[in-house]
Amino acid sequence: DAKTTQPPSMDCAEGRAANLPCNHSTISGNEYVYWYRQIHSQGPQYIIHGLKNNETNEMASLIITEDRKSSTLILPHATLRDTAVYYCIVRVKAAGNKLTFGGGTRVLVKP
């Protein structure tokens, strides 16, 4: 799986959009970008994934650059409950749940 680089931490104001960057410059053509988050010490929670096109669901939006070397997870209206560690993971979809977790980005949403 391709390696990813994320900033170690970031703060966000409640109600504002949170933009979380991820660099994956060595991504291969068949590798997807997945985002998970971990609140406190709970099990990681799936957020969203994409291959080439931008994706949106009820939780977030995922913007992938045209060259696929980086992406941004957008939490449109951050709430205090979005405080968590966010992990960007790149993997082949057929790899099942063999996930390689980096250090993630620790997001603190402030009132």
Partner 1 sequence: NAGVTQTPKFQVLKTGQSMTLQCAQDMNHEYMSWYRQDPGMGLRLIHYSVGAGITDQGEVPNGYNVSRSTTEDFPLRLLSAAPSQTSVYFCASSGTGADTEAFFGQGTRLTVV
> Which residues are at the interface with partner 1 (CB under 8 A)?
34, 36, 41-46, 49, 87, 93-94, 96-104
Quick check: 13 and 110 in contact, CB under 8 A?
yes
> Least Å distance between CB 6 and partner 1?
10
Residues in the chain: 111
- Could you tell me which residues come within 8 angstroms of residue 59 by beta carbon, excluding any fewer than 6 positions away? 47, 48, 75
Closest CB to partner 1 among 96 and 111? 96
In this complex, which beta carbon is closest to partner 1, that of residue 41 or of residue 53? Answer: 41
Distance CA 65, CA 84 (A): 24
Nearer to partner 1, 81 or 98 (CB): 98
